[in-house]
Structure formats: C-alpha cells, structure tokens
Amino acid sequence: MALIKSISGIRGTIGGIVNENLTPVNAVKFAAAYGMWLKGQNPNPSLSIILGRDARISGEMISNLVANTLTGLGINVIDIGLSTTPTVEVAVTLDRVDGGIIITASHNPKEWNALKLLNNKGEFLNAVEGEKILKIAEEENFLFSEVDDLGKYEKKEGYINRHIEEVLKLNLVDIEAIKKAKFKVVVDAVNSTGGIAIPALLEKLGVECVKLYCEPNGHFPHNPEPLKEHLTDIAALVVKENANFGIVVDPDVDRLAIICEDGSMFGEEYTLVACADYVLGKTKGNTVSNLSSSRALKDITLKHGGTYKASAVGEVNVVELMKTTNAIIGGEGNGGIIYPAAHYGRDSLVGVALFLSHLANAEISCKKLRESYPDYYMSKSKIELTPQIDVDEILQKIAQKFSHEKPNCIDGVKIDFEKKWVHLRKSNTEPIIRIYTESITQNKADELAEKFISEIQAFL
C-alpha cells in the first residue's frame, strides 16, 4: 500500500499504518496544513471553502475528517457532497469563496483516495504553494481555534445543476444543433459521480442516454482509468444499442474518452484534438497541451492558423502556459479539456458539450470525424534504475547527444523528430525514467522507445 505526498496534494490507499497509507491521521494533518496555509494567505478572519467528493467508498469518511479539521481551524465549510472535480472548481468561483478541496483519487482504483487542493480562483495550487503546504504538514505547527471561533459547517445541494447551467451558457455550445441531431449515447461513469452529472447534462441537450455503470456507489466495475483495455463493456453496448457514440469519464469527471459507433476507440488523445478543432474553427486562437500529448493537436492548431505550445506535464503547468499564450483551448492527452471560456480546469462536462456541438455541426459519424484527423500512435514504457544512479545526469547526457535536434528540457527531455518524438521523464518517487514516444505507426513508436532504452543503457 502507499502514501504519496507531492506538490499537487496527498493520495494513498485507505487503511494501514500512519504515514505509510492514507489514514485518518494523515487526512487530518494534510487538511490542517492546507487550512493553515489558507489562513496565511488571507487576513480575512472569516474564510470559507467548498468541499466535494467523488463516490468512492471511503469518500464520506475522508470528507468528514477534512470538514471537521477545517472548522476546527475556524474556516467555514460548504459541503456540496457528491460532486465532480470541475464542479467544485466552478463552485469556488460562483460562490466567491477562498478555496476548495475535492476528495478524489481520480483514475486510481477504489482502495485509493486523495485530497485535491484549490485556490480562490478554483484552480490547482502551483509548485511553490504545494511545497509550503507539505512543509506545514511536516512541521505540524497547527493553531486551532477556540470554541467561540470555530468555523461553520453547512451542506448545500444543486451544484452539479449549477455547473450544467454554466456549460449551457457557453457561446460555442450549440444546443439547437445538438437537439436537432437526435443523438443516442451510451455513458460509462464507472459508478461514480459522472453517473449523476453526464446524464443530467445530456438530458438538457436532448440526447438519449443509455446508462452503463452510472450508479454512484463507489464500486468500480472495472479499472477506472479510461483506457481501451478497460472499456470492452461499453464498446459492446454502443454497438448493441446502435448508439451514435459512447462517453466514458473517470471517477471525478475530469477525463473524457469517446467510443465510436462501431465500438472502436476514438482515442483519449483525440478528445482534445476534436474539441480544439471545433473551437478553433469558430474562434481563431492558440492552444496548449503538455509535452507527453499527441502532435495531432499541433497539426490541427496550425491548420486553423493558430500557435501551439507545449508545457511541462501537470494541469497547473498547462494552465500557466495557456494564460501566458492566451490559448483559447488546451488540456492534456489523457482526455482532459481545459476551456478558459468556462474555467481553467479539466472539465468533461465542457468536453461533452463541445464534442456534441462539433459532431452535430459536422453532420458526420463519430468514426468519420476520427478518420478526418492525422493518425499518430503512442508507446509508453519505462526503465527502472538503481537508487545510486543519477537520473538527471543521464537525461542531461541524452540532451547533449541529441543537441542538434534542439531538445526541450523544461520537463525531462523531449526530442521532436520530423515524423516522431520521444519524451523522457524521471519519476518523482522512484528511480525510473518514463519513456513516451509517438510516430505514424505503432511499430515505429515502439521501435523509437526501444532505441532510447538502449541509449539510456549505454550511459549506465
């Protein structure tokens, strides 16, 4: 089992030993650290945060611990209960509160849970802020409030509906075209809160929804990461129901994958590509994704006359670069859509609405839409090293050897060749180099990965 502390939060497996797993003690300690940081950021004596959770079995327990810890620090807690990550992000801005916490381990299996931390803009904390919270948690210099100064706790409902209304207000969400198309869609929400949010959104858009695993009970019927090997049930049901396509979201609904009408994968990498194609076709502008995302987004951006930039891996890094470059859409190749007209966070509800608008306007099938985009294939592998090996030194040597290719070194080493690329990143928790490659065929992507495994081994 495991407990992972990072600048983006704390996550781990439920039960076990304190400081080795996500125990109640660890949840309280980290919530207190966030609360102390929040109080240090704002002299306002009456701070408030939004608290929401996905449907994990441990969610209510962790949520209660977090809420009680924060009220103990004198911070008011608005508990919106079962929710989605983007819903909490939107709620922070709608209610103009001072921060937010989502209790979710995203795509990790059911034994995992985590605390995702937001600032007063409903955005994830940056690296500097995350480091401060980790330091506060380590030092344990918490100052709790006296009895007359305890924070207030209240439960409030209706935030998913408020989120949906915000999505429907977006100028590029073509409600009439979607309704006219009379789509039939299958939804796999892995028995989490997407089972509440996505069908409700589809109903508002006049889309017939066939539900698969939409009961928010936290019992995930398959591995919740929306990858091809986990999606055989929905692929079969899309064909059986003669649906136009399938929608898959992860437990906290910030990743979106699409299944074509024949049961084939549209591809997580291509969710962002399709949404960007639609947005760029309506509004000229720039895009951003991370270094490990498909080159297809760059191709589509250039086709529309925009500029594409790549950030370091991590949502907060994508958002930062999007702001710097005034990007009108961006995200990550894992199916995360960030559309600033809505908010700066990955949002599957926004992604679904944009994708439906695109398909309705294009008046073609999901499969035909996918075939209209350039074909790229990815390979993801890793090489395990001994703890004594200096991973940074190896990556520096790789960069030097391929300096003529002008490698990007903002996050590991990314080397762009004419029809392929490789991205080498070190793990933050293990002596591992992760190797991501992409090319025009799967064989070529795999061959490129093997080539760079050999390059690394030559320096050992």
Catalytic (active-site) positions: 106
Contact 380, 436 (CB under 8 A): yes
Q: Which helix (H) or strand (E) holds 257?
A: strand 256-259
Instruction: Give the whole-angstrom CA distance, residue 192 versus residue 141.
Output: 36
Structure tokens given for 370: 């996918």
CA distances (Å), 20 to each of 10, 17, 130, in order? 12, 5, 20
Q: How far is CA 196 from CA 121, 164, 336, 371, 384, in A?
A: 25, 11, 19, 31, 41
Length of the chain: 460
Q: How far apart are CA 19 and CA 86, in angstroms?
A: 29
Q: With contact defined as beta carbons under 8 Å apart, do 353 and 170 qualify?
A: yes
First to last CA, the chain: 30
Helices marked H in 144-282 = 159-168, 175-181, 194-204, 232-240, 268-282
Inter-residue contact 145 to 72 (CB < 8 Å) = yes
Q: Are 192 and 222 in contact (CB under 8 A)?
A: no
Longest CA–CA separation in the chain, Å: 67
- CA 241-177-160 angle, to 5 degrees, is 75
Beta partners for residue 419, in sequence order: none
